[in-house]
Amino acid sequence: MRIGVIGGVDRGEELYRQLATRAGVELEFHFGGLAGRGTATLDALVERADVVVVVTNVNSHAAVWRARKQCKRSGKRLELVAHFGVSKFNALLRRLQAVPEQAVAALGARP
């Protein structure tokens, strides 16, 4: 399973990667910027991810809107969170581990 995180964890990226590796999950980050190739890289992250987490308090309205639109178009599960600390990440990992991978894909995008 692959989780894409948009915004909010740049300083703690290594800790999140270690937690994801222990849970058997691939993790990919996008820092939310849309300038230059930012839009294309955000779209590509959504395409590769099974679950997309968007941290709303650090992303622009345009980045949140773009991620939501791409998740809906691609049928990806979307998690919108205001803050995304280690405890929320661990809770997400526990929820995802409780659901078989095929069921995560079947959940589709959530508003």
Q: Name the band, by pLDDT with cuts 50, 70 and 90, for residue 99.
A: low
The tokens of 43 are what? Answer: 């779209």
Every domain of the chain and the residues it spans: 2-107
* Amino acid in the structure at residue 30: H
pLDDT in tens, 68-95: 999 999 999 999 999 999 999 999 999 8
Phi, psi of 37 (to 5 degrees): -90, 10
* E strand intervals along 14-57: 26-30, 51-55
Instruction: Give residue for tokens 């839009």.
Output: 39
Q: What fold characterizes domain 2-107?
A: Rossmann fold (3.40.50)
